[in-house]
Chains A and B, each alone.
Chain A
């Protein structure tokens, strides 16, 4: 148990957290803005990795890999959107169907290879685990650019219409907004960002695995929720949209620091999913328990009892 190994691994841990934070930014669009529980993410994250890996091993540049992954993710979002709006399938089910379908599609993309290695020795990659500090700087730039674009986009007329659709569809229709189109557009953008994150993680870890997306949605939600709890604690009422977005990435970083610490403390790797579920449950419960403490029946009874006894 040498604290030095934990610290020397930190840049890599943080870089991984930032990439999952980027994925969480995509999930933020559906989960927070559109009020749509989109489970396609587990599939589209792996799609991003698969497309990026195949683009790179066929001799193309890393930036083309990222662009194609982005487009593939957008198509995955389009599929969920069509299932939900045109075919009337409820949001959770539409996402699950897309996720399931993508598992087979992802295997086809990688020519039936469950794992596609992309070694930094053979290919020119955007980022790699080998060069942790460089990777960290690169992914931070990516995150900053995506946050800036999201901040701008959701302030535009179109972005506002997407947000309105998420808060109040009845009102949105009355204001002439095509809510189905907005839902599809939101899903497209969301899954495109998720797939981009998948493409980054594949390059970072040097391989694309068909199972790499398993549990991605939970990690994304963990990042969003951890970020939100810290953001509320630090900024309280002065929280703005850009700060909220930045804290999604902060949430991703914090999550991976927790993970690094428990792995360093020799927790079996197979218990990781259990641990993740535990963390998400704790952070989801914190705001609720805090609110309960501020207004509890027991306290009310005590107050009333003292005053009127």
Chain B
């Protein structure tokens, strides 16, 4: 479903701030694979997701989604195939607009936007039912401005919006990092539920090794802009945190010391 081959990206080339963010990163995901992405700070996890999303053009390599080469497509055109949730809960929704308006914007992702009503009555009824499933009480606040919601509510809403039009790939960029542990757990649960319900192909960046192991059926570890570890199937199910740390040392030749957060339970 997703084929990212040999992606390279250097920020500020030729300056003192030159940073090789992606150094030949590759990933192949089959339909329905849910891949967690771990790695230390600056390993290139978020950059990899942004490369797939098309936030900027890559320097080298190619990206195909469901057989379509999207390497040359700008972000807004690629959005047709992608559902996205960001680290910052403020990023994924339009604060000044109502919940139903936000959902309606997402419902039209990848479609022509003309002079039909922005939100129709039948849509509203549909959204009401969908929000009910989240169990956050948002279904009774359809016309409330999204800016009034809490971070967790906004992330849950963004998740739902990302799946309103079934995306070919769902990109989750540390989408629980800004939430308190209890809310983070709830949002992760909703994530898992939505991915299973729609059979989605997904990439989820996380700093939490336990979550990376518990969720999904694929796991990659990144370091210095490369994918250094690629685990799937049964091997992933048996994986423990100790295994991961051990494997990291084995592959990279260094100890996993640069990121204490990654060890958190």
Bound pair (A, B): yes
**Which A residues form the contact surface with B (CB < 8 A)?**
153, 155-161, 163-164, 166-168, 170-179
Residue of A nearest to B55 (CB): A173
Contact partners of B228 in chain A: CB under 8 A: none
Contact bitstring B89-116, A, C-beta under 8 A = 1, else 0: 0111111110001001110111101111
**Which B residues form the contact surface with A (CB < 8 A)?**
53, 75-77, 79-80, 82, 84, 86, 90-97, 101, 104-106, 108-111, 113-119, 161
B interface secondary structure, majority: loop
Q: List 27 A-B contacts (CB under 8 A).
A: A155-B117, A156-B115, A156-B118, A157-B108, A157-B115, A158-B115, A159-B118, A160-B101, A160-B118, A164-B94, A164-B97, A167-B96, A167-B97, A168-B93, A168-B94, A170-B86, A171-B92, A173-B75, A174-B53, A174-B82, A174-B84, A174-B92, A175-B108, A176-B76, A176-B79, A176-B80, A177-B76
Minimal beta-carbon separation of A276 from chain B (angstroms): 28
Query: Within the assembled complex, what's the spacing in Å between the Cα atoms of A157 and B113?
Result: 5
Q: How many A-B residue pairs have CB under 8 A?
A: 84
Contact partners of B109 in chain A: CB under 8 A: 175-176
Contact partners of B119 in chain A: CB under 8 A: 160
Is the Cβ of B114 less than 8 Å from the Cβ of A157?
A: yes
Contact partners of A167 in chain B: CB under 8 A: 94-97
Minimal beta-carbon separation of A245 from chain B (angstroms): 15
Contact partners of B94 in chain A: CB under 8 A: 163-164, 167-168, 171-172
Is the Cβ of A155 less than 8 Å from the Cβ of B76?
A: no
Minimal beta-carbon separation of B20 from chain A (angstroms): 25
Contact of A163 among B84, B93, B96, B108 (CB under 8 A): B96
Contact of A176 among B91, B101, B110, B115 (CB under 8 A): B110
Residue of A nearest to B91 (CB): A170
Query: Within the assembled complex, what's the spacing in Å between the Cα atoms of A202 and B74?
Result: 44
Is the Cβ of A155 less than 8 Å from the Cβ of B118?
A: yes
Contact partners of A178 in chain B: CB under 8 A: 76
Minimal beta-carbon separation of B261 from chain A (angstroms): 25
Is the Cβ of A175 less than 8 Å from the Cβ of B105?
A: yes
Contact partners of B84 in chain A: CB under 8 A: 174
Contact of B95 among A159, A168, A172 (CB under 8 A): A168
Is the Cβ of A161 less than 8 Å from the Cβ of B113?
A: yes
Residue of A164, A166, A177, A179 ringed by the most chain B CB atoms within 10 A? A164
Report, nearest first, the 3 A-B pairs whose CB atoms are least far apart.
Answer: A176-B79, A160-B118, A157-B113
Knowing A164-B105, A171-B92, A177-B76, the reply to whether A158 touches B114 (Cβ < 8 A) is yes
Residue of A nearest to B104 (CB): A160
Residue of B nearest to A162 (CB): B113
Query: Within the assembled complex, what's the spacing in Å between the Cα atoms of A161 and B82?
Result: 18
Is the Cβ of B106 less than 8 Å from the Cβ of A175?
A: yes
Minimal beta-carbon separation of B73 from chain A (angstroms): 11
Minimal beta-carbon separation of B102 from chain A (angstroms): 8
